[in-house]
Amino acid sequence: MDLLKADLFEKLGPLLSAEAAAEAPGTGVEAADLEQAVWVRLLESGPRDPDPTGRARWLRRAVRAEARLARRRARREIPYDYRHHSAAAGGAPEDALLDGEETRALRSAVARLPGRCPELMKALLSPRDLTYREIAGELGISQGSLGPVRSRCLGCLRRMLAAEVAAPGLWGKER
């Protein structure tokens, strides 16, 4: 079976690379990602037709299908920090003001956390995007204890922020 896979890779590799390179620019993904998705599809089900033209036709269809999926996925996905991009890109002044107020409220709550939580949360919120190893080195604690400390700090932060948010009014009749 491995000989068959090696043969497929050798014969279909150049065609797949060319097809993926041709389809990738409009999909929002790299050609290598498209190529990998088609290889996975090929190895999972694959063309059973021994005719080389049948394999090539299947390969073209598979590349186009994966490209369609990637385009749909790109249309549905929203960037993680979409509000920061819109405020920085000259969005409405109200959005920039609300974003600034939220950031100040969060930083204020982080500063009031107990123990080592303020330093840890500042490191996690840092725009430098530090790894756990770098954070542990800066704070002088073991990398293995970062997860439990982070979890405890986030729990404290949630409780603090929940207490600061006004409770919703009663729905329905009061008795």
Amino acid found at 98: L
Confidence of residue 119 (pLDDT cuts 50, 70, 90): very high
Confidence of residue 5 (pLDDT cuts 50, 70, 90): low
Query: What is the signed CA dihedral for 80, 83, 89, 94, rounded to 10 degrees?
Result: 180
∠ CA 14-19-22, rounded to 5°: 125
∠ CA 83-29-65, rounded to 5°: 120
pTM: 0.43
Better-predicted residue by pLDDT, 81 or 105: 105
Angle between helices 52-76 and 2-23 (to 10 degrees): 50
pLDDT confidence of residue 1:
47
Computed on alpha carbons and rounded to an integer, the radius of gyration of the chain in Å comes to 26
Better-predicted residue by pLDDT, 96 or 50: 96
pLDDT > 90: percent of the chain: 17
pLDDT confidence of residue 50:
53
pLDDT > 70: percent of the chain: 76
Q: Specify the 3-state DSSP secondary structure of 164.
A: helix
- Whether 169 shows a pLDDT value over 70: the answer reads no
**pLDDT, mean of residues 59-70:** 89
CA neighbor of 102 nearest in space, from 94, 91, 114: 94
Structure tokens at 115: 């123990």
Averaged pLDDT of the chain: 80
The full DSSP string for 128-167 is: T---HHHHHHHHTS-GGGHHHHHHHHHHHHHHHHHHHSPP
Better-predicted residue by pLDDT, 31 or 51: 31
Per-residue CA distances from 167 to 100, 104, 149 (Å): 23, 21, 29
pLDDT confidence of residue 153:
92
Q: Tens of pLDDT along 68-89?
A: 988 888 777 766 665 555 545 5
